[in-house]
Amino acid sequence: MTKRLYNFFPSGGGSDPSISPNFLPQLQAKCPQNGDVNVRLAIDEGSEQNFDVHILKNIKEGFAVLESDARLNDDIATKNVIDSYFSPFGPMFEPSFEADFVDSFVRMGQIDVKTGFLGEIRTVCSQFN
């Protein structure tokens, strides 16, 4: 979070330009530049206790806490998916975000997990052992 708020790459400094100027001071207050790196933030500002489409609204409006969430709005394919949940006809003719999320989670659970000699537990998530 510190890099996203104070030394964002590729801009070479400053904050991630995808963060709303109305949200940036709140994040910086919770995460000062040399503050405690163990501070926890709600990833869905304004709807912390509910699982709902509000997180997508935050992403659209520049209030994404996680950089990975913010990047969803940068790609045209994922931006179109986000926008589809806010279509005037969406609630009547399209599945809801919540229903789609449940469906995708069930499908992910059916992915063949490799175990034993076929799999590996990474010591660093972003690197092969």
Could you tell me if 58 and 46 are in contact, meaning their C-beta atoms sit under 8 angstroms apart?
A: yes
| CB burial readout 32-58, b (16+ within 10 A) else e | eeeeeeeeeeeebbeeeeeeebbbbbb
Q: Does 44 belong to an annotated binding site? A: yes
Single-letter amino acid, residue 105: F
Sequence-distant (6+) residues with CB within 8 A of 18 are: 62, 64, 70, 71, 73, 74
Task: Output the CA–CA distances (angstroms, integers) from residue 49 to 1, 57, 63, 91, in the order listed.
Answer: 22, 16, 17, 22
Q: Known binding site for Ca(2+): residues?
A: 44, 52
Q: Known binding site: residues?
A: 44, 52
